[in-house]
Structure 1
Amino acid sequence: MTRNRPVPAIDPADAAFVRSLLIHEDNSVLVFNKPSGLAVQGGGGIEASLDSLLAAFAKSNGKRPRLVHRLDQGTSGVVIAARTQPAAARLSDEFATRRAKKVYLALVRGTLPEAASGVIDAPLVKVEEGGRPRMLVAAPGRKGAQTATTSWTILASSGDVALIRAEPETGRMHQIRAHMSHLGCPILGDRLYGRGEKGAARLMLHATSLTIRHPEGKEMTFTAPPPGDFIQRAQELGLGPIA
């Protein structure tokens, strides 16, 4: 029999903060609207992360919710966590079998495609550059390459900038960022695949919705509106109001 563990200690201010990010809560899942700048997981000198803040939802036996997917630290938007091990297994299977549907909004700049929509089917391979991992579009037959597919639609454009809706069919690290750069129009604020702060103070990528089968069986869609800085930058670029 598993012994109970101590309930993790968490500062009341941190507990209030993570609760303010909730957009849905029930007995099986917690869904958050993660702000840009908050890491999903710790490590590498990161002091605070969404994962560590989940201690605010720990049970009396010390068990706490478990994240089943992640966003880059600079990306804002929908993140889901499971409250129980069975729920975590079911949600993880949704992502592993690609039944979970993710929708992102991105502000990009560069040589925009002539078409209004399309699909990027470009395998990616992870490499280390300067001690930092990044994804490169792989040449045919490249060892370690993983399939990666992203559907995209231009929602608004002005000159060389655009608001793009991106739907990754696979879930590779940095997939949308690498694919937008490959398309010729990297995401604004992207220091790894674009021009960094010359375009925006932070990565302008937002996970706006997640459609997934709830552990209890019903398909549900969770949405998070873009944050104020995203909306403001879009308006500054002449891309109009974002609903």
Structure 2
Amino acid sequence: MTQELSPCIRTVNVMRYVTPLREGGSMPAIVEADDDFMYVVKFRGAGQGIKALIAELIGGEIARALGLKIPEIVFANLDASLGRTEPDEEIQDLLKASVGLNLAVHYLSRAITYDPTVTTIEPLLASKVVWLDCLLTNVDRTARNTNMLMWNKELWLIDHGACLYFHHNWTNWEEQSKRPFVQVKDHVLLPQASELAAVDALFKPILTEERIRAIVGLVPSEWLTFNVENETAEERREVYIQFLLTRIANSAIFLNEAQHARQSLI
């Protein structure tokens, strides 16, 4: 099942900082929100900045639209008062720099990191994840850092902040939209991904222009214009839309790259 065409993202208020997740380069943390649920927050003031939040939101909601399992994504409001009682200076500075709207995902209690030496993913699901990451140019799903969890015996995808890396070098986005994804050779699920052509035929009709526009439309305008001069939020939003639509239309480029990379492994 795919998600509804116009996804809705809830907004919660962070009430309590619980614990940092120091294995993450951007220092995400587990927090409690005013709906009494626990979330993993990605902070706007972290080193990877707001672009990581944009990639997390777009990447995660595209994955959800394709029927893959993603924890609920929410906007997380952070009040200036939250960091005043934090004894750790580094965390205090991070919270001060992150006042306002951040991004969070529902915390999957007792989930365990996917380990390819323990669990084998069936070929169709593996192919779906590989295709998704080729579309999103996600460099962060390797054996060293799988960014997948096993929860209730099912595979859940997390952490899409490294996707869409074209937006770190904005000027040649059109050229980048048609490039093969050469890093697919390091994808942890590539050896099992024997159904890539079938997935390509399945996924492309789902990712219509209307659906892509609805997902990219979720990105707050203030994120799109942060530290940006001479461009409006809608101009930036349109680049994300056109980048994704171009990659979808030219999926044969990254599909062939993935298939060739897989052949060299098996």
TM norm. shorter chain > 0.5: no
TM-score bracket for this pair, using the shorter chain length: under 0.3
Structure holding more helix per residue = 2
TM-score (norm 1): 0.26
Structure holding more strand per residue = 1
